[in-house]
Structure 1
Amino acid sequence: MANQPVIRPATPADFPALYRICLQTANAGTDASALYADPEYPGQRFAVPYARFAPDFAFVLESESEVMGYVVAAPDTRAFEAQLAAEWWPVLQQKYQHRQPVAAFDSKILDSINHPDAAAEQLVKHWPAHLHINLLPPVQKGGWGRKLIEHELAALRAAGVNGVHLGVSLQNEQVCAFYQRLGFSHIVRNNAIYMGQLL
């Protein structure tokens, strides 16, 4: 079929699209534009640093010359956390040093930039990698989510990674069935629902 969406590696030219898609899916999978004063806030945490610091594991879904979805991953969560602590969070801390929360979700991002958290040891012990995936509504059907995840899992396996985890918003629990069909199992439920798969 002509004009089928394609999966390709993300490049720096895709960063604006990553910010946009992350914002438009940051409210438990729905548009969070009204919940952040700065449209780049969610992407600064959940999308762009992956494409920047782990580019071999950042892929976009392009349809009609427009990026409509992405999957990103860190193959080694602890090493990724250390790299962000050295090269990403300090830049944002400087950039946003005078920012105050304005919109409903601003503090979530500003707090995480100023006080980055670390993944729980029980997650990284067996599932050392982690991933994030987001697709805009026009491409949420048709199996593209599955294809993006499978593309990412193949890249992680090829790099010798033996396990990967992800987090699902408590408000978006219905998507857990999708991940279970892809081979993920429940690990723990606290601030989010964490699922993992051995590779």
Structure 2
Amino acid sequence: MPAVPGTIRPFHPSDLPALYRICLLTGEAGNDASALYRDPDLLGHLYAGPYPVADPGLTFVVVDDLGPVGYIVATADTHRFEQWLEREWWPTLRARYPVREDPRDGTEDHVLVARIHEWATADDTLFDGFPAHMHIDLLPRAQGQGLGRRLVESLAAALRERGIPGLHLGVDSRNEGAIAFYTRVGFTEAARHEWGRTLTLDLT
């Protein structure tokens, strides 16, 4: 039976290819990043795939009658998640993707490969109050319907059940629509960086 448009449900392993696709189609400050990467899986390897593998209970998916159209992925404990990445996730990817030079053809695979080899850990000053972190992406046809808010609410409820006091995220400063959305759902700015901003949400 087709899904009711806008259905939010827990992650199922069969969703993983769709999460990778959505990650790519929203990966350039909210826009389609397909032209930037020769390997369409690279973005997903960093910002989508590890979360439901490490803790599927904190991934929620939006579906319509055509399939998944959005998701929210998260970890309740960023420090422990980073340890898991080093132990379980990065070794295979580092072997698969050797460090490479910039081909100077406009593609950015080399940038993500460098991150795989030298992952920048989160600001540990956030860990006491905001130990969780998340990523959220919606395809254009799912935007403007309140689905992003519902995804954040679903995640927030799951984190509160675990006693997590808050979560944080990073957002590209160019993605003004995302920043406005996060502000509407209760996030506040914690820091600004060369690459963007860190926002936090108090769950207490």
Residue deviations 1:65-106, cap 9 Å, x none?
411000000100000000010000001001112765555221
Deviation at 1:166, TM superposition (A): 0.9
* Cα distance in structure 1, aligned partners of 2:57 and 2:162: 10
Corresponding residue number in structure 2 for 1:61: 62
8 Å CA contact 1:35, 1:105 repeated in 2: yes
SS of match in other structure, 2:51: helix
- Aligned residues of 2:11 and 2:60 also touching (Cα < 8 A): yes
Q: SS where residue 9 of structure 2 aligns?
A: strand
Unaligned runs of 5+ residues in structure 2 are: none
TM-score normalised according to structure 2 size: 0.92
The SS at the match of 2:136 is: strand
Which sits farther off after the overlay, 29-38 or 152-161? 152-161
- Secondary structure of the residue aligned to 2:175 is helix
- State the AA in 2 paired with 1:37: R
Residue 126 of structure 2: aligned partner: 123
- Correspondence for 1:151 among 151, 154, 164: 154
- Give matches, 1:37-48, under 5 Å: 37-48=38-49
Contact preservation (8 Å) 2:22, 2:69:
yes
- Please tell me whether the aligned partners of residues 101 and 110 of structure 1 are also in contact (alpha carbons under 8 angstroms): no
Q: How far is 1:159 from its partner?
A: 1.2
- How far apart, in 1, do the equivalents of 2:145 and 2:176 lie? 21
SS in 2 for 1:8: strand
Tell me, yes or no, if the aligned pair for 2:100 and 2:110 is still in contact at 8 Å: no
Q: Is the 8 Å Cα contact of residues 60 and 72 (structure 2) preserved in structure 1?
A: yes
Q: TM-score, normalised by structure 1?
A: 0.94
Q: How many residues matched?
A: 198
Give the Cα–Cα distance (whole angstroms) in 2 for the partners of residues 80 and 31 of structure 1: 27
CA contact (8 A) 1:185 1:195 kept: yes
Q: CA RMSD in A?
A: 1.5
Residue in 1 that maps onto 2:17: 16
Residue matched to 2:82: 81
**Is the Cα contact below 8 Å between 1:68 and 1:139 reproduced in 2?**
yes
Does the 8 Å CA contact 2:99/2:110 hold for their aligned counterparts?
A: no
Q: Which has the higher helix share?
A: 1
CA distance in 2, matches of 1:11, 1:99: 34
* 2:79 equivalent to 1:107: no
**Residue 196 (structure 1) aligns with:** 200
User: Does residue 1:137 correspond to 2:140, yes or no?
Assistant: yes
List per-residue Cα deviations over 1:105-159 (Å, max 9, x = no partner): 2122101101111001222232110000000000012111111111111111111
Render the CA deviation track for 1:9-51: whole Å, top value 9, x for unaligned.
Answer: 1122111101100000000000000001100010000001001
The alpha-carbon distance between structure 1 residues 13 and 155, as it changes in their structure 2 partners (threshold 3 A), is: same
**Alignment of 1:50 onto 2:54:** no
Q: Which residue of 2 aligns with 1:175?
A: 178
